[in-house]
Each structure stands twice: as structure tokens, then as C-alpha cells.
Structure 1
């Protein structure tokens, strides 16, 4: 397996669907100049999602073939759909930059932690159930998708205590600021606060 160097860090944004993981992850990733590792998924594209940016949307058959070839570092099934991260994507990016970030559920986050140990920093984002529901409705997600997400809410919330850090996310700017300060100790980029 690929040997990470001392400066390599894998930042994992996790928490319930609708907790704002994507928005915060993108803002923090931009602040630190980190590249995102994009998962492969067999579910269909949702409103506002961009293929190759949010996920690589592929067929079940293509996914099965990649899995047979041993391409996935982690692969999980959620509500009949498969989600996977290729080891090649992580390792090729960490060859030329120090840190990458991913957005994953608790299963994927646990698998990466087992593989890469203290190189993985899990950031748990959460809001209350009603806020999750309101955000998902505002995105125009179908009711059955919202119901499925809410059915996983308690299970995902149970993972909070396993993560290195947890952040309540009601205000994007505030949460991004808190996470940036937290990650500074890991990434040692010497960002200067210009306030």
C-alpha cells in the first residue's frame, strides 16, 4: 500500500445528510487549497449535482466491474446504491499535494480511519432533525429521499463521539471559520487572520 508522508492529511467531512457537509467542505477545501476526492456512486443524479464534481455517477454494472478489479479502497451500500472511493484517486493526489478532503457517511469514514490511522481527521457536522428536513426540502429532493435520509439520522448522529471533532452547523460562515482554525493545527499552513 501507498506510504503517506508526515505532512499528508486526509480530512473527512461526515455527519447526517442535510447537515451541510458539502457546503462547509467546499469552503474549507478552498481556504486550504485542498483537492476533493470524488466518490463513485450508482444512484441517479439529484437536482443541482454535477457529474465528476459531486460524484462520479456510474451504472451498477460499471461499479461491479471496478469492484471486481479491486479499485475501491472503501465501498459501502446505502439504500440499495453503492458508494466507493478509489485508492488511486487518494494516492495520486497525495503525491503532489499534502492534503485532500472527502465527504462520507460514518461507514466510509470508519474504513478510511482503519486504513490510514492518524492521517485521517474526521470532522462531524450536524444540525437538528427539523433543520435537516427543511434544508432537503429547499433543495427540492423527492419526499422518499428525504424520508430515507431521516431514517438514517439517529445512526449517523451516533457516530459523533467517534470523530476527532464535531461542529454544530447552522451558520456556514461561522462553521467554516471554526473548522479552519481547528485544521490549522493539523495542516500547519500558517494562515494569517487579517481581522
Structure 2
């Protein structure tokens, strides 16, 4: 991309990705942002405990329930929701910081948060990640070895309700083979970046267009 195109790039867009726990959403999103230099992964705030190998400020901003409540009361979140007994939220400041610089923002959030963003922003590309089937989903949850049997059962129960919401998304990607699913996500980002509304506003001066 030329320097003139970079300077005239319109405000960045939103890519919202949801999935039932264990479908591979986080791994796919992490690989996706590594591929696109203009795509930024929004880091959510959460009240859940930090897992082994996770880094504060990279995987999540880990905060206390009291701090989270204060942020809610201050209207700091573009969306927030309680999932599996823990709260997760996306700060407005995070979204606007990257979007004003012309960067697209990738949000790895649950169906409640996605619904709030759809209502608040009235825009965005909504993508739902599915496992190949529920049997494989259970296998992946068990192989993570991060949850006890009771938590896994709760996640499986919630998964059925979450999957029903996939009809409200623009795209559905089945994560049976990781590399194929990642290629599908890349294709969506590339295609959305070529939409007329995204491309032409940045080229009006280059082609002397009056639009």
C-alpha cells in the first residue's frame, strides 16, 4: 500500500468473532492478526482467573470484580457480558484508538457482546466459528485440561444455545481443519477490505472522483 493510500485510509472497521467455548476461536484469531498488519486484536477486560501461560495485557486485562463494576458504571465498555460466571468487556477507548488510526479491530467475544455491538455501532462483520460437531467440541474441552467435569457440562449446555445464534452472523466458519478454517477467515477479511464503501473513499483524490 502506498503512503498516500495509507494517509487517506478511512476509519477502521470491526470484525466480531464468536463461538462456543472450545471451538478454537482464540487460536484462529491470534493467527489471523499475525497475517494482517492492519488488523488489531482487541484485548478484553475480564474478572476470570488468569490461566497458566496467559499474560496480562496480552491475552486479557485481568481485573477484580470491583474494578469491572466501576468501569461499567463509568460507561467505559462498548460491550460487556457475564459468561460462565465471569465478566468480560471491551473498552470503548481500545476500539476508537485503533479505528481512528485506520486499523481494523478484531473482537473475540461471546454472543451477548456481539449483540450489544451490533446494536451500538450498527456496523461490523460478524463471524461465527463452529466445531465440526458436539462430540468433537467435548473432546477439545476435555483435552484443554483447564476445567473440571461440571464446568465442561455447563459449557456444553451453553454451546447449544450459542450455536443457535449463528443465524444472526454474516459468516459461519467450521473449524474442522485448523488451516482450512484460518484460510476461510483470511478470505473474509480480504473480501471485506475490497468492498466499495471501504476502498473508494480513500481514492477520491487519486482518481478525481466526486462521490
The TM-score, its normalising length taken from structure 1, stands at 0.88
Structure 1 moving runs of 4+ over 6 Å: none
1:22 matches 2:26: yes
Q: List alignment gaps of at least 5 residues for structure 1.
A: 190-195
Question: For residues 93-112 of structure 1, what are the structure 2 equivalents within 5 Å?
Answer: 93-112=98-117
Which of 118, 130, 136 pairs up with 2:135?
130
- More deviation, 20-29/128-137: 128-137
The secondary structure found in structure 1 opposite 2:122 is helix
Q: List alignment gaps of at least 5 residues for structure 2.
A: 1-8, 196-211
Note the aligned Cα RMSD (angstroms): 1.7
CA offset digits 1:66-119 (Å, max 9, x no partner): 11221111121123321111101100111213201011111111111112223x
Distance in 1, matches of 2:11 and 2:74, equals: 30
Distance in 2, matches of 1:12 and 1:47, equals: 26
Question: How far off its partner does 1:41 sit?
Answer: 0.8
Residue aligning to 2:203: none
The TM-score, its normalising length taken from structure 2, stands at 0.81
Residue aligning to 1:11: 15
Question: How far off its partner does 1:54 sit?
Answer: 1.6
Residue aligning to 2:194: 188
Count how many residue pairs are aligned between Structure 1 and Structure 2.
184
Question: For residues 71-150 of structure 1, what are the structure 2 equivalents within 5 Å?
Answer: 71-118=76-123, 120-127=124-131, 128-143=133-148, 144-150=150-156
Residue aligning to 2:169: 163
Q: 1:151 to 1:16 in 2, by over 3 A?
A: same
